[in-house]
Structure 1
């Protein structure tokens, strides 16, 4: 056997051995609070999608969407994130307005696919005189932590409904659990706004006695504030069946869309892993709907047209579109920033530090 052929064969065998011994990719996905829906969605993706693709995926809790955008951009190992549509758009708007930090963060991010609508809960005390969502004007409101999608949603909704910003003096940035405690125990706030896909663990864990302490405000379709809110958000229903232990009747409300997001990766190994993830997502989608969180039943495996400035991640988009076609139809601050006062919007998005 010629020496060249022998060496080629040995090198080929060595390459196969190296490939076989290559360690499994270990990635992370940032979600939201431990009692929210996002973390369960992340765990479902780890079990039913990443696992079959031979990818380790750890679902990390977080403050929410605004923090997730930043962690996806900068935190090592974080390759995926769950992000609300209004938060993603807010970063794009800030970038378009000239905020360099927002541009650096959002421009390299790419969408994988839209997921489901998340319900917005407006919680008040059971004995509160408030009954409708548009009654919250000038009330003391807990809007979620800084860096959370809930905080951004709360501020955006208030601005849309009432044509003015949510007053800082009436705003408290608290976790969901802290919000409910302030609402019902020391009564230092009037309203707690919580964004979570139903059924959310925070509410499913409540006993029948909960109705003695809290209630959910209803969306009034006849109110002019509702018409203004519907420019960016959509009507939905919080079903009593989702919280049968304490919620007696369905409650009309508003929703915001959730998206699965990644980064515009170019490293060959990462691109290959994410392409396998996309193939597995399509191949195992029925298992997600059958075995995962009930919200998966509302997800459609499709890639609809996007708003201006929004882009899919091309390697995954190509694989998903090919797979979908084969399926049967179904359902750090800049110097300028450091010398001025941060706006409320920048504080919520975490792109301006005092």
Structure 2
């Protein structure tokens, strides 16, 4: 081989070596996953999921999208602006009508179940000694209901409506973190929160004595009679510093995907999530509750995502 031929051969080999990685590189699948704003449970759940699942899925790029919470997540999924979201079961159900916050919008028949994320309580927080000792004491008070477009506003408004108090409070709309600071500074009298533990409440309880306002049995019955997608559950005493076990209205919250997300991507994300559930729960306690809950999700009017169903079909220990 002549010098010139050898030079060309070496150059070609060098070019091939340089271009080979890009030629064989695997394109990443982009997944935009809606949670909530900082201070909310969904925000931290999606954040830790993105970090943990990436360890097993180098070809999937999970982007945490800051949103107002469940209501906005569902609406943006329906519009195709998100690929996944943490969404209240009640919102999946209402989006099929559509009714409530989804009235006059497109039907949410593209929503698909991935897993039950957690069961979330709705409750009101005030400072000890504020004079608010029962739900009825919220009348006439400044109460933060959550950020606009959030599932918290939806749940808190439902609860107050069922108890005849919605038109008796002075509603404030603000983020969870802002509400915690506002209560601590005496700018509001109470704030409402859905799901637990919530960072805004945890942080406030570390510096001040708080009270999670108790519901009476009659009030809990009124809530579930008015809105059947709520059930009575007990928030454990270990949830917040100085707060005893408390009965309150609960609703089920789901990890939801748009039907367009590839089957294999969802299947592998679900597999990674169950494999790393302990690590997810270390990042946020709510992930400890994750389970299939297939039967209950399908009662909301849409099926499981094909990828999630494929995973559950091949894992006999997956509960219904």
The reply to whether TM is greater than 0.5 is yes
* Alignment partner of 1:71 is 2:47: no
Aligned to 1:349: none
> Pairwise CA RMSD of aligned residues?
3.2
- Paired residues of 1:82 and 1:259 also in contact (CA < 8 A): yes
Instruction: Tell me by how many angstroms 1:248 deviates.
Output: 4.9
Structure 1 residue 278 and structure 2 residue 270: aligned? yes
Question: Quick check: 44-53 or 30-39, which moved more?
Answer: 44-53
- Asked whether the equivalents of residues 302 and 324 of structure 1 are also in contact (C-alpha less than 8 Å), the reply is no
Give the distance between the partners of 1:20 and 1:225, measured in 2 at CA.
62
1:37-77 CA distance string (max 9 Å, x none): 2122213322333431331212222211111122323365x
Instruction: Provide the rounded CA distance (Å) in 1 between the counterparts of 2:182 and 2:97.
Output: 33
2:10: which partner in 1?
none
Partner of 1:173: 173
Q: Name which of 146, 149, 152 aligns with 1:150.
A: 152
Q: Which residue of 2 aligns with 1:56?
A: 61
Change (3 A) 1:134 1:94: farther
Consecutive aligned runs of 4 or more in structure 1 exceeding 6 Å deviation? 16-19
Q: Distance in 2 between matches of 1:30 and 1:125?
A: 31
One of 125, 129, 152 as aligned partner of 2:127: 125
Matched, 1:228 2:201: no
Offset at 1:168? 8.5
Is 1:318 paired with 2:309? Answer: yes
Alignment deviations for residues 219-249 of structure 1 (CA, whole Å, 9 cap, x no partner): 222xx222111343233333343333xx253
Alignment match of 2:201 (pick from 200, 203, 206): 203
Distance 1:75 1:317 in 2: 19
What is the CA distance between 1:217 and its match in structure 2? 0.3
> How far does the alpha carbon of each residue in 1:87-106 deviate from its partner, in whole angstroms, 9 at most, with x for none?
33343344499944142xx2
Q: CA deviation at 1:208?
A: 4.4
Whole-angstrom distance in 2 between the partners of 1:292 and 1:97: 31
Q: Give SS of 1:249's match.
A: coil
Alpha-carbon displacement from aligned partner over 1:251-294 (angstroms, at most 9, x marks no partner): 3333221111111217xxx3332233234334x15444664422
Report the secondary structure of 2:269's partner residue.
helix
Between the aligned partners of 2:139 and 2:200, the Cα distance in structure 1 is 25
Is 1:262 the counterpart of 2:257? The answer is yes
Whole-Å separation in 1 of the counterparts to 2:126 and 2:286: 25
What is the count of residue pairs matched by the alignment?
Answer: 297
Equivalent residue, structure 2, for 1:216: 212
Look up the match of 1:12: none
Structure 1 contact 95–102 (Cα < 8 Å) conserved:
no
Q: Which runs of 5+ in 1 are unaligned?
A: 1-15, 332-354
Q: Does the 8 Å CA contact 1:50/1:277 hold for their aligned counterparts? A: no
Structure 2: gaps spanning 5 or more residues: 1-19
The 3-state SS of whatever aligns with 1:178 is: helix
For residues 185 and 122 of structure 1, the distance between their equivalents in structure 2, rounded to whole angstroms, comes to 17
Q: Distance in 1 between matches of 2:220 and 2:39?
A: 29
Note if contact 1:119-1:196 (Cα within 8 Å) is conserved in structure 2.
Answer: yes
Q: Determine the C-alpha separation between the residues in 2 that align with 1:19 and 1:128.
A: 66
Alpha-carbon shift at residue 118 of structure 1 (Å): 1.5
Kindly indicate whether the alpha-carbon contact (under 8 Å) linking 1:30 and 1:60 is maintained by their aligned counterparts in 2. yes
Q: Residue 10 of structure 1 corresponds to which residue in structure 2?
A: none
- 2:185 aligns to what? 185
